[in-house]
Amino acid sequence: MATLTHKARLTRLQQGDGANADLSGADLFEVHLPGANLAGATLSRVNLDGANLREADLSAARLVGAVLDNACLEMASLIAADLRGALLADANLRGAMLTGADLRGADLSHADLTNSRLGGADLRAANLTRAKLAGADLRGADLRGAMLNETDLTGANLRGADLRGTALDGAELMRGH
């Protein structure tokens, strides 16, 4: 089978055909792939800084060490995705499905995770400083050693979440009336 060029692979992704693709190490800076099917894709160490992945399916995708700073992942599905050590600073993850995702050591500082679903997610040692988690579902999430300083947790569901060793300085858990 012939090896696809970078341009051919990008064209296939833009047409929604990226399931199980291996794009490890690719530079996809500011790429526009809204609604793309990247389920099961290997995107380790990929540069997706500023990418538009709104409503994309990244379920069970491998994004270890990927750069997703400033990316739009609004309403995206990242169920059971491997995002260990990923950079998601200032990313838009509003309403994203991250149930069971592995976000150990990920940088989610200043990210908007409003109304996102993180039930059972592994967020050990993740940096969520100044992130917006208002209305987020964190039931059963593992947040041991995570940094949630100055994070907005207003209305977040933390039932069964493990918060041992979590830094919560200045975190907002409820708004005053």
Q: Would you list the DSSP string of 83-131?
A: -TT-B-TT-B-TT-B-TT-B-TT-B-TT-B-TT-B-TT-B-TT-B-TT-
* Residues 96, 54, 28, 147, CA torsion sign: negative
Reported as a pLDDT band with limits 50, 70 and 90, residue 78 is very high
Phi, psi (rounded to 5 degrees) for 54: -60, 130
Residue 11 tokens read as 């064209």
C-beta separation of 110 from 131 below 8 A: yes
Question: What's the whole-model pTM score?
Answer: 0.91
**What is the distance in angstroms between the CA of the first residue and the CA of the last residue of the chain?**
64
Higher pLDDT, 98 or 9: 98
C-beta separation of 127 from 148 below 8 A: no
Domains of the chain in start order, with CATH, are 1-177 (2.160.20.80)
Reported as a pLDDT band with limits 50, 70 and 90, residue 174 is confident
User: What's the pLDDT score for residue 19?
Assistant: 85
CA 93 – CA 13 distance, rounded (Å): 21
Partner residues linked to 62 by β-bridges: 42, 82
User: What's the pLDDT score for residue 8?
Assistant: 66
Each residue's pLDDT tens digit, 28-38: 999 999 999 99
**Mean pLDDT computed over 82-89:** 98
